[in-house]
Structure formats: structure tokens, C-alpha cells
Amino acid sequence: MNTPQPSARIDRQDGSISVEFALMLVLFFMPLLIGIVDFGQILHAQSVVTRAAREGVVAAARNQDIPTAVDAYIQNAGYDTSLAHIATAGSRVAGEPVMVTVRYDTSAMVIIPWQGISPNMTQVVATATAQQF
């Protein structure tokens, strides 16, 4: 009795399923990985900006220069100080509150251009308040 031999054509297709799966895996998980990296960078920038705002109000409470303190902290964290915008409000009179707001543009540090997807992700903002001594 003659049994049919497996053709070479069937044998050549065995590895193609693995290759297709690997390609689809990359196409699905690469954007997810890039999004996680971007979110981590934005979260770190938010942490740095929050701490810089706190350093600014501590400098204000000690009657020191606010932009110098904020820029020093941002620079020590490894960020570009030209992308930071510092605003102050309140009085620098003893017993009065002073508020420092720091905005940092994160559009240059992310991989995915989030401006079209979520405009709130293009900058991080932090505000801190302290009382003048």
C-alpha cells in the first residue's frame, strides 16, 4: 500500500507561523512599551517640578531668590532650565503666604507626540505655598 509522503511545501510553512506571531507581537507590544516609557518620564518630570516648587517657596520663606533655587534644583535633576517657567504670587512680607508655580514643557522628552492625543501631557505643573518668616 502506498502512503502519501508529506510534501516539501507543507514543511516550509511550519516556521512561518512563528515569524508571523513574532511580528504581530512586536506591532502590538511596542506601542505599549513606548507608552510606559513616556508615562514614566512624565511622572519623573512631575516629581522633579513638584520638588522644585517646594524649593522655591522655601527660598521665598528665607527671603532668598526664588528663580535661582528652582533653577538649581531642576538643573541638578538633569533637566533643561530653559523649559521651566516660574511664577510667583503673594507678598514677601513677614507672616504673608507666598506661592510658587513651576511649569515644565515635556513635549521634547517623550517619544510619542502627545499634543494631539492629550494636550495635558505636554507640560507638568506644580504649585507650592509657604508663609514668609
- The predicted-structure confidence for 68-96, as pLDDT tens digits, reads as follows 999 999 999 999 999 999 999 988 788 88
Residue 4 resides in a domain: no
pLDDT tens profile 16-45: 888 888 888 888 888 889 889 988 999 999
Q: For the chain, how many structural domains are there in total?
A: 1
For residue 60, the enclosing domain spans: 11-131
Question: Looking at this protein, which amino acid is placed at residue 46?
Answer: Q
Residue 126 resides in a domain: yes
Residue 111 resides in a domain: yes
Specify the pLDDT at position 88: 94
pLDDT higher than threshold 90 for residue 66: yes
Please say whether the beta carbons of 89 and 101 come within 8 A. Answer: yes
Specify the pLDDT at position 4: 63
pLDDT higher than threshold 70 for residue 97: yes
